[in-house]
Structure 1
């Protein structure tokens, strides 16, 4: 994305002479001296700029030490008035080695002064330009310059004390008048793509910055590309994202580490979400909100710059992105802003999640309509993998099905979902998995790595133990939580013995380590740490399905949306609309492939997978849920699909929040009171799982 904000601190000097009729020295400046602002953009390794001033009437050299912070040296120097003032400057790195030096001789007079010098490198680095002047000029503009569209440039003038000069009027100029022109009031317009220098002059001091103009189509493409990346940031933000805590809360994985709120928000009893910007894990609550609305804002910036979208591809993809951004907000938060690519969020009111989701689905419908008007391809540069117009249409249908089903906050809402429409949308969805392709550089999925990596993540027994046919799961689950451990009373290891070939096979952990399943493995050296945080978090099992992806340096495709998810949404739709035979037939596709016996409309379960906490064999709905969990684990919906499934099925552990509150910083900015959800007895909290876990 092109830079939309530039601040140029005395980037170049035009040798104009400035004067003042009645100069007034700043407060605190010694009589007969001038206070000047010094600015220099140094190299990243620079640590200190030392300036010595000598000349007639100056006894001992005046020495000024200016620290270099983030590559910039700035400060003030008081210099005696007079001619023949020699400024000698040196730059040192953090180790005390001199890296640059240079000098200039100038006269310092009452009124306005401007001195520039170049420091040559002593070690092959780039030279450093230093400006010492009476004023500092800061240039900036908002938005990307677009060919043929006027854009207001702005300049702020500050004196050597750092105070803004009121009503300062700069003189504007461009260095490439064949490409760009600028009015006396600073309105810049380009006639073609390219770069021109922009110059603002005041009091003998000039600021210069390069401004690049692009075509409307190129800018729109850039904004669409980065809006999609912002959606991915909301989905899979690795170090400030909700997915980790939602995953561990729904027993999709287990971790003893405290990172990302995993330990805090999976404690027993469950605690309320801390909606406080000063809290350590506030970023995990807030990041998806920011990323979603940043993505919409990028689309708005593009529309403001280009007017109408330049082509069918941009129209379709922008509607698709609006659907994704708003859909994610509706999945996570109790309220949201219903805005599109023409609206400023500051002018919108918070609306309930149901209205936000309705808007999301309406945008996806618009995207579908656009894809039916012609053919195009979304380039891999935008999405990591090329997407044809037909594939985009299938994805829009797929997200409609996902969103409709998973926006439900409780079993009552999930039951009243329009399942006939979900079945239809899923039937029109993707025909194979949709995967982003990662290179661990520009396209990264750190969350996918940390959710599945053996050193941080373990596969929790709470649900996966239902595969076990040995009775060990019932022993484990019926122990007090503080007594649960992968080694059961009597010293027996809790090995999951099951005909489900997605699990490792063998009668012992040792045997299973040499016979991994398709999805899970018995880990050679499980990471059991922090017993004080609960040994119930420990397990012998880890992820196997995505191990090749991890071993390949987190590169290659990783599914974000699977065809199995859509098939199982259809199965649930058939189940809820009374077509049990069709539901059973669809469940059997993955069930039989896993080595389990087929089920039927009556819920026959001769394999007894899943075997519930009370030892009973799961019915048709439980078999459907079993397939849903195993086939979607870590794929889509913030990497935590089990949370949203459990929420609608009524399976979230008692006290777990059913949704996230609007981030407190957003509420405060709107003059509203902060609130929260979750905790036993708290607002919008689970009343307890339908499994009625022992000791819940």
Structure 2
């Protein structure tokens, strides 16, 4: 069997296996199709990929550790992304790519086996469920390739990999992914089934619920695709609003004991929220809520001379009111001065000063402390995957971009009211109201004058607040399409260097002063065949997915670097 090097599906097979080993059963095909969705989960919730580094690049988070490329990719001024096969944290580039094509290979091989006559269950009674779920994985993984990479390959069961393949740009890949989402939704609505509880762990959905989940993915995919504000202005926000209203709006996946080698763990919430190691709030984020003037003074300093500041937050109840240092085992309670309902103050500054004091911060998010306390590896409990707050944010942004400022203000003021803030104005040029002390939230991002923000600033601020560590990339994509990332931040990932070398193409990258582009790919061929050949491919795909999963877990290095 052959495949893209990024899929990690190349297998040395000097001896042709016997018939009994080569032929996978119908149950194996179904298992392979179910396993293809695990790659969606890994892309959105694991850390052996770009998630941590790009969340920091959004300036919503901050850290200076070398792990996950956070130190290298978070420096300012921005530098070119170190897209090299020898880069220590090369999985920043390779993780999403390999997971996407591993899942696409499994889902496509499963559909090929069904198309070749395989019957799953008596008389093929489970074929409809298997096909719908495989198509769902194909669609979502294709969407994620469009969101993360500048270009990628379209691969499904119809792809002739024996011929020369060309990459397509992110817009073409997104268009293809939206078509696949529509196809998968139609397949799901046209069948009757219930998903196995373990396929999206803890969710034994009906076919209608799976279809509604795909509607939500249409909203997430379309809203987050644009690379710039200009591109976002051309998005179909009317459709995004409709999909945000009509899909499943809350999805929770159940975590399991990691000692069983389960894939159902959320590294964003397990490690990406640890105030004592991997996470603090970036000053450019928390500074939008500051009322003390410390953020503006911080901005006024040369970047390399900026130091972490203690701030005050006025009426916003989500932030702490004092400077009591807390530990993870302390209760999250508004009655404790160092805690707000979502944010906490930390007296210690843990990040290495020689890597930039401008990246240090006293403040961190506390909303997932309960999950962190569930066990030392934090694998138990509910794990958010989609949230109504995320989809409200798309509706609010869509209304704003379409000129429905009153509608945007009406929705955003629900969240502002819950936080103790006065209503934002529906006139987009008016500043948000100040209290009797002259305090207003949010302030304008990056504004040394400390001016009160307007409705658009409030939209940006609440969006960042509501999608914290929900799904990898959301904060970065939000900053990208609104032109509020730090200058020089790469707008997407390049094809991984290791794959470019296999394809004998020039290595290129983005970010800082870098430029360049990629040539035409020449992937190895896969020869299509009969049902027996398709099942043989399924057997090897299952083996390689298991090897890849174990290798990914072995890569997890929790020692800070």
TM bracket (short chain): 0.7 to 0.9
SS in 2 for 1:451: coil
In structure 2, relative to structure 1, the CA distance for the partners of 1:661 and 1:243 (3 Å cut) is same
Greater Cα shift, 250-259 or 445-454? 445-454
Q: Provide, for residues 408-461 of structure 1, a one-character-per-residue CA deviation record: whole Å limited to 9, x for no partner.
A: 111110111011111111111224x21221114202223432211122211112
- Whether 1:678 aligns to 2:511 is yes
**Using the alignment, how far apart are the partners of 1:683 and 1:268 within structure 2?**
21
Q: C-alpha deviations, 1:72-119, integer Å up to 9, x for none?
A: xxxxxxxxxxxxxxxxxxxxxxxxxxxxxxxxxxxxxxxxxxxxxxxx
1:32-73 Cα offsets, whole Å, 9 max, x none, are xxxxxxxxxxxxxxxxxxxxxxxxxxxxxxxxxxxxxxxxxx
Q: In structure 2, do the counterparts of structure 1 residues 531 and 215 end up closer, same or farther at CA, with 3 Å as the change threshold?
A: same
> Are residues 1:434 and 2:257 paired?
no
The answer as to 2:81 corresponding to 1:241 is no
Aligned to 1:621: 456
Equivalent residue number for residue 327 of structure 1: 143
Q: Give the Cα separation in 2 of the matches to 1:591 and 1:333.
A: 35
Match for 1:520 among 339, 343, 348? 343
Q: 2:282 aligns with which of 460, 466, 476?
A: 460
**Contact kept in structure 2, 1:429 and 1:566, CA below 8 Å:** no
Partner residue of 1:582?
407
What is residue 606 of structure 1 aligned with on the other side? 433
Partner residue, 1:368 = 185
Q: Could you say which residue in structure 2 is the equivalent of 1:643?
A: 476
Please give the secondary structure, in 1, of the residue aligned with 2:155. coil
Query: 1:663 Cα deviation (Å)?
Result: 1.3
Instruction: Give the structure 1 partner of residue 355 of structure 2.
Output: 533
Q: Residue 357 of structure 1 aligns to a residue in which SS?
A: helix
Counterpart CA distance in 1 for 2:292 and 2:185 is 50
Tell me, what secondary structure is at the counterpart of 1:617? Answer: coil
| Aligned twin of 2:6 | none
CA distance in 2, matches of 1:390, 1:304: 24
Structure-to-structure mapping, 1:125-204, within 5 angstroms: 139-141=15-17, 153=18, 188=19
Q: Cα gap change, 1:651/1:682 in structure 2, threshold over 3 Å: closer, same or farther?
A: farther
Contact 2:84 2:90 in 1 (8 A): yes
Q: Partners in 2 of 1:389 and 1:274 — Cα distance?
A: 43
The whole-number CA distance in structure 2 between the counterparts of 1:335 and 1:538 is 34
Structure 1 residue 651: deviation in Å? 0.8
Partners of 2:182 and 2:288 in 1: CA distance: 40
Partner of residue 101 from structure 2, selected from 289, 293, 297: 293
CA distance 1:140–1:438, shift in 2 (3 Å): farther
Indicate yes or no: 2:272 matched with 1:272.
no
User: What SS class does the counterpart of residue 628 from structure 1 fall into?
Assistant: helix
Larger-gyration structure (1/2): 1
Once the two structures are TM-superposed, the CA of residue 139 in structure 1 deviates from its matched residue by 4.8
Q: Deviations over 1:274-325 (max 9, x none)?
A: 2211121222111101110010111222234343675221222112111111
Q: Hey, what does 2:233 align to over in structure 1?
A: 415
What is the DSSP-based 3-state SS (H/G/I as helix, E as strand, rest coil) of the residue aligned with 1:302? helix
- 1:339 aligned residue: 155
Task: Report the Cα offset of residue 140 of structure 1.
Answer: 4.7
Quote the Cα distance in structure 1 between the aligned partners of 2:162 and 2:54: 29
Match in the other structure for 1:76: none
| Contact 1:426–1:570 (Cα < 8 Å) also in 2 | yes
Distance 1:563 1:472, change over 3 A: same
Match of 1:231 among 40, 59, 63: 40
Superposed CA RMSD: 2.5
**Paired residue for 1:631?**
466
In structure 2, the CA distance between the partners of 1:7 and 1:315, relative to structure 1 (3 Å rule), is closer
Q: What are the Cα deviations for residues 575-597 of structure 1, in whole angstroms up to 9, with x where unaligned?
A: 11111111111111212111111
Alignment check: 8 A CA contact 1:275 1:674 kept = yes
Contact 1:506 1:515 in 2 (8 A): yes
| Higher normalized contact order (CA 8 Å, seq sep 6+, divided by chain length) | 2
Q: Is the Cα contact below 8 Å between 2:40 and 2:140 reproduced in 1?
A: yes
* 2:174 is aligned with 1:357: yes
Q: Contact 1:574 / 1:583 at 8 angstroms: preserved in 2?
A: yes
Contact in 1 for aligned 2:29/2:110 (Cα 8 Å): yes
SS of alignment partner, residue 280 of structure 2: coil
Larger fraction in helix = 2
- 2:285 matched to 1:477? no
Judged with a 3 Å threshold, the aligned counterparts in structure 2 of structure 1 residues 480 and 683 are, in CA distance, closer, same or farther, namely farther
8, 14, 28: which one pairs with 1:219? 28
SS class of match (1:435):
strand
Choose 248-257 or 300-309, whichever is displaced more: 300-309
Report the Cα distance in structure 2 between the residues aligned to 1:357 and 1:231, rounded to whole angstroms. 16
- Give the conservation status (yes or no) of the 8 Å contact 1:224–1:382: no
2-structure distance, mates of 1:434, 1:345: 35
TM-score where L is the length of structure 1: 0.65
3-state secondary structure, aligned to 1:270: coil
CA distance in 1, matches of 2:39, 2:296: 44
Please name the residue that 1:259 is paired with: 67
Distance 1:658 1:346, change over 3 A: farther
| Structure 1 Cα separation of the partners of residues 308 and 492 of structure 2 | 31
Per the alignment, do residues 390 and 304 of structure 1 end up closer, same or farther by CA in structure 2, a change over 3 Å counting?
closer
TM-score by length of 2: 0.79
**Change in CA separation of 1:7 and 1:359 when aligned onto 2, cut-off 3 Å:** closer
1:495–1:540 contact (8 Å) kept in structure 2: no
Please report how far the alpha carbon of residue 250 of structure 1 lies from its aligned counterpart in structure 2 after TM superposition: 1.0
**1:206 corresponds to which residue?**
none
**CA separation in 2, counterparts of 1:379 and 1:610?**
45
SS in 2 for 1:598: coil
- Matches of 1:332 and 1:396 in 2, distance apart? 19
SS of 1:392 mapped into structure 2:
helix
Query: Relative to structure 1, is the Cα distance of residues 461 and 377 closer, same or farther in structure 2, using a 3 angstrom cutoff?
Result: same
- 1:213 CA drift (Å): 6.0
Q: Deviations over 1:529-563 (max 9, x none)?
A: 41111122222112210000001022211212111
Consecutive unaligned residues in structure 2, runs of 5 or more? 1-8, 119-123, 327-333, 435-439, 518-561
What CA deviation, in whole Å up to 9, does each residue of 1:133-189 have, x standing for no partner?
A: xxxxx7553xxxxxxxxxxx3xxxxxxxxxxxxxxxxxxxxxxxxxxxxxxxxxx36
3-state SS, counterpart of residue 272 of structure 2: helix
CA distance in 2 between counterparts of 1:573 and 1:435 reads: 25
| 8 Å Cα contact 1:497-1:507 kept in structure 2 | no
Q: Distance in 1 between matches of 2:366 and 2:424?
A: 26
